[in-house]
């Protein structure tokens, strides 16, 4: 092999080594960049929620005790029911907008509940319109609970920031509308009243009507925008009889299902 050919081979090997080195450096820098962004990336997540209801029928028709924690069922007044969001990412989330769409045909559902209660001899004196449901309290008939329950269709909630859980125990708590809490309460009351063979069908109707979409938008510290979209789903309730409580405890599980990311 002549000296010129040998030199050419050396030049080619050096050139290929340089290209390989540059590619390796580029991939390393890209990985470092991704890791650096990860340090700032937040992730807002809905913590799966449990709603507890205590039904004391026939001693009391309404109200059902409803709470976010089982031990709160012992409190004389109903506690607030909420959905809880936490930032499970690495960085702070800012400019947060949580948009609820309660795609529920309240009027049709409450009309159906009213009819089924009347069939079983329970007149809740419900007045139902396109925009609200009104229930009269009738203590002599063990209905100690009433009022106006407006049908909420949409709601927006804005927050400045949310720290990651690694740095803080903070969360965002958003109350469930009174009309939705009434849906839960009346459905569980009906479950307690009807015969065993149709209990599953009664709860399935609530599942079919409960169609809730949630969109969450927020930014990280570098002003990168994130959009999360998901639906809320209801699981079959758990039923428990506990001597510490007067009545039957129903636990409704609310879970999330992503439909876009």
Residue 80 has pLDDT above 70, yes or no: yes
**44-58, 69-83, 162-176: which range is least confident on average?**
69-83
218-249 pLDDT, tens digit per residue, is 999 889 999 999 999 999 899 998 888 889 99
Q: Which two tokens stand for residue 231?
A: 């639906």
Q: Are residues 14 and 69 in the same domain?
A: no
Please check whether residue 110 lies inside any domain of the structure: no
Residue 154 has pLDDT above 90, yes or no: yes
Please check whether residue 112 lies inside any domain of the structure: no
Please check whether residue 128 lies inside any domain of the structure: no
- C-beta of residue 217 within 8 angstroms of C-beta of residue 226: yes
Q: Are residues 174 and 226 in the same domain?
A: yes
User: Which strands sit side by side in the sheet containing 132-135, from one edge to the other?
Assistant: 126-128, 132-135, 147-150
Cis peptide before 58 (omega within 30 of 0): yes
Question: In the predicted model, what is the mean pLDDT of residues 84-106?
Answer: 94
Coil, strand, or helix at residue 237?
strand
Model pTM score: 0.82
94-104 pLDDT, tens digit per residue, is 999 999 999 89
Q: How far is CA 158 from the centre of its chain?
A: 16
What are the backbone dihedrals phi and psi of residue 259, each rounded to the nearest 5 degrees, phi first?
-125, -5
Please check whether residue 145 lies inside any domain of the structure: no
Per-residue pLDDT band for 189 (boundaries 50, 70, 90) equals very high
Q: Which two tokens stand for residue 233?
A: 């789903």
Better-scored residue on pLDDT, 179 or 13: 179
Q: Over the chain, what is the mean pLDDT?
A: 87
Dist. CA 34–CA 70, nearest whole Å: 43
Please check whether residue 232 lies inside any domain of the structure: yes
Q: Are residues 82 and 27 in the same domain?
A: no
How many domains are there within the chain?
2
Q: Are residues 169 and 198 in the same domain?
A: yes
Q: Are residues 157 and 97 in the same domain?
A: yes
Q: Are residues 201 and 251 in the same domain?
A: yes
Q: Are residues 163 and 236 in the same domain?
A: yes
Question: In the predicted model, what is the mean pLDDT of residues 195-207?
Answer: 94
Q: Which two tokens stand for residue 124?
A: 């809740």
Percent of the residues in the chain that have a pLDDT greater than 70, as a whole number: 84
Q: What residues pair up with 96 in beta bridges, in sequence order?
A: 159
Better-scored residue on pLDDT, 37 or 173: 173
Owning domain of residue 21: 1-38
Q: Are residues 166 and 72 in the same domain?
A: yes
26-62 pLDDT, tens digit per residue, is 555 455 454 555 557 999 999 878 999 999 999 999 9
Residue 3 has pLDDT above 70, yes or no: no
Cis peptide before 253 (omega within 30 of 0): no
């Amino acid at each position: 092999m002549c000296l010129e050919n040998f030199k050419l081979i050396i030049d080619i090997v050096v050139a290929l080594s340089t290209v390989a080195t540059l590619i390796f450096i580029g991939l390393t820098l890209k990985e470092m960049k991704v890791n650096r962004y990860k340090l700032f990336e937040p992730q807002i997540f809905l913590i799966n929620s449990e709603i507890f209801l205590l039904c004391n029928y026939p001693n009391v028709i309404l109200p059902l005790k409803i709470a976010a924690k089982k031990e709160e069922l012992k409190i004389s007044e109903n506690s607030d029911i909420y959905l809880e969001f936490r930032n499970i990412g690495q960085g702070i989330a800012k400019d947060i907008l949580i948009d609820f769409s309660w795609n529920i045909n309240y009027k049709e559902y409450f009309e159906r509940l009213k009819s089924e209660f009347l069939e079983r001899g329970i007149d809740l004196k419900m007045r139902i319109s396109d925009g609200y449901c009104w229930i009269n309290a009738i203590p002599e008939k063990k209905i100690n609970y009433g009022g106006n329950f407006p049908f909420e269709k949409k709601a927006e909630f804005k927050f400045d920031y949310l720290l990651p859980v690694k740095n803080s125990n903070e969360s965002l708590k958003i109350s469930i509308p009174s009309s939705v809490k009434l849906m839960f309460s009346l459905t569980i009351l009906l479950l307690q009243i009807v015969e065993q063979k149709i209990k599953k069908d009664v709860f399935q109707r609530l599942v079919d009507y409960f169609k809730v979409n949630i969109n969450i938008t927020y930014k990280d510290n570098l002003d990168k925008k994130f959009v999360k979209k998901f639906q809320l789903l209801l699981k079959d309730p758990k039923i428990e009889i506990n001597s510490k409580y007067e009545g039957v405890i129903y636990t409704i599980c609310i879970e999330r299902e992503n439909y876009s990311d």
